[in-house]
Amino acid sequence: MKYAIVTGASKGLGEAITKRLFEEQMAVISVSRTENEELKKLAAEKGVNYRHFSCNLSLDKEIQEVFMEVAHVIFKGEPEEILLFNNAGVIEPIHTVGSLDQTPTIRNIKVNLIAPILITNLFLNKAQHTNTTIQVINVTSGAAVHPIEGWSVYCSSKAGLNMFTQTAALEQWELGTNHKIFAFSPGVMDTKMQETIRSSSQDAFKDLEKFIEFKEKNVLLKADVVAGALVDLVLSGTVESGKVYHINDLLK
């Protein structure tokens, strides 16, 4: 049996990934602060094994408690493979350096970088001495490699996530395991995160007009299209561990 864990499944890309996994009849564990009732209903209709765990990924104590329980639930079924989608993310704070508030700054690094590190570590640890293969999908951003004024914290957390992915993949290769860990950059998608970006102030975010135009000109990617391409890649068995994939590589 295969199991998927999707963080940030309540909205946006995470919700779309979860719906696509339901189509594959895959058992899914959703982790976020709020529960998406539509997913619960859909899983029941399709007869798919689905559970939601509430967790604030900016709190390390909650991460430890919740993911120990998630690991317990999953490993007792001796799964052949676990797909771990580290998808939850936050864009804020959107401000230039010198005007950053401490709380959202720390929260951003915790949700975007520390949580994926802790969760990946926990699952690779639990997989030792089992026959379970882990595939970790870290959802990153083009902002990891392109500095965007006003997004210094987001750019830094996603750059850190890319480096964590590459380093952990090298280690697993050296250890001779079958575990794979890769990053995926989804492009600019029509989700709540883009609403937050469009509601930022021109003073804080130089490219505001450009992002408002993306919406007006209808060039934002649909989350279900992006999720479809990602899940196809994950299930293809062709993933190159350590690679940072971009949606444009998959949609052409």
Task: Enumerate binding residues for ligand NAP (CB under 6 A).
Answer: 8, 10-14, 32-34, 55-58, 87-90, 111, 139, 141, 186, 188-189, 191-194
Cβ proximity to ligand NAP: between 31 and 127 the closer is 31
Cβ proximity to ligand NAP: between 119 and 127 the closer is 119
Least distance from C-beta 130 to ligand NAP, angstroms? 27
CA dihedral of 128, 134, 139, 144, whole degrees rounded to 10:
50
Least distance from C-beta 128 to ligand NAP, angstroms? 27
From the CB of residue 119, how many other CB atoms can be counted at a distance below 10 Å?
A: 25
Residue with tokens 């094994």: 49
Is 3 a catalytic site residue?
no
* DSSP one-letter string for the chain: -EEEEEETTTSHHHHHHHHHHHHTT-EEEEEESS--HHHHHHHHHHT--EEEEE--TT-HHHHHHHHHHHHHHHHTT--SEEEEEE--------S-TTS--HHHHHHHHIIIIIHHHHHHHHHHHHHTTSS-EEEEEEE--GGGTS--TT-HHHHHHHHHHHHHHHHHHHHHHHHT---EEEEEE--SBSSHHHHHHHTS-TTT-TTHHHHHHHHHTT-SBPHHHHHHHHHHHHHHT---TT-EEEHHHHH-
Least distance from C-beta 62 to ligand NAP, angstroms? 8
CB closest to ligand NAP, residue no: 12
Cβ proximity to ligand NAP: between 14 and 79 the closer is 14
Cβ proximity to ligand NAP: between 80 and 101 the closer is 101
Least distance from C-beta 175 to ligand NAP, angstroms? 27
Cβ proximity to ligand NAP: between 132 and 194 the closer is 194
Least distance from C-beta 56 to ligand NAP, angstroms? 5
Q: Judge whether 74 and 28 are in contact, CB under 8 Å.
A: no
* Length of the chain as a residue count: 252
* Residues designated catalytic: 154
